[in-house]
Amino acid sequence: MPAPKTRGLLRDGRALALVIAAIVIALDRWSKLWIVHNIRMGHARTIVPGVFRLTHVLNTGAAFSLFEGSTSPATVRNLLIAFSVFAVMVVLVLLWKFAREFSLVTFSLALILGGALGNLYDRVRYSHVVDFLEVHIVHYHWPDFNIADSAICIGACLLLIEMLRPQHDAKR
């Protein structure tokens, strides 16, 4: 006999998704504030020599510093804010419609929501995003990123995995 379902918010995956998004936002804010107060702008602390450093750089562009050198930074900022607001709205609608039961999709959307809100906060408040995770793999240098970027990428990868996974017939 199946176990009885819990009632209310404990059963609703949307509530847990919002908690996960809030945790991502809190970790993102804390990490950025720590960097701002402990590493001078343009400097770095080596964690694993030749592989990983904590840096302090400001990104006024999009992912991977796209549009960073734009001749119209205010326009880029406003477009990025508008895109982020749109993305947050889409994720909220998806959570509302499809996350009644907690699943990998719910978790993925929660990560994306938290990351998008974390970077949106920075763009609105400071006109830039603090990036601080620098990775080198052999001769490849990955552009600096942050916790919010990581949450978005992990959430998107998990969604992709879920979409590519074979779906089982609902009757089985």
Terminal alpha carbon distance of the chain: 17
Q: Are 81 and 126 in contact (CB under 8 A)?
A: no
Residue 170 is assigned to a structural domain of this protein: no
Q: Could you report the per-residue pLDDT of 17-47, keeping only the tens digit for each?
A: 999 999 999 999 999 999 999 999 999 999 9
CA distance 56 to 95: 34
The active-site residue, picked from 122, 131, 144, 169, is: 131
Catalytic site residue 149?
yes
Domain-embedded: residue 2 = no
Is 169 domain-assigned?
A: no
In what helix (H) or strand (E) does residue 130 lie, and over which residues does it extend? strand 129-137
* HSE (side-chain half, CA atoms, 13 Å) at 35: 27
**Structural domain boundaries enclosing 87:** 9-164
Number of domains the chain is built from: 1
According to DSSP, the residues that pair with 53 across neighbouring strands are 46, 134
Q: What is the pTM of this model?
A: 0.86
**131 carries an active-site annotation:** yes
Q: What is the pLDDT of residues 101-127, one digit of tens each?
A: 999 999 999 999 999 999 999 999 999
Look at residue 3 and tell me if it is in a domain: no
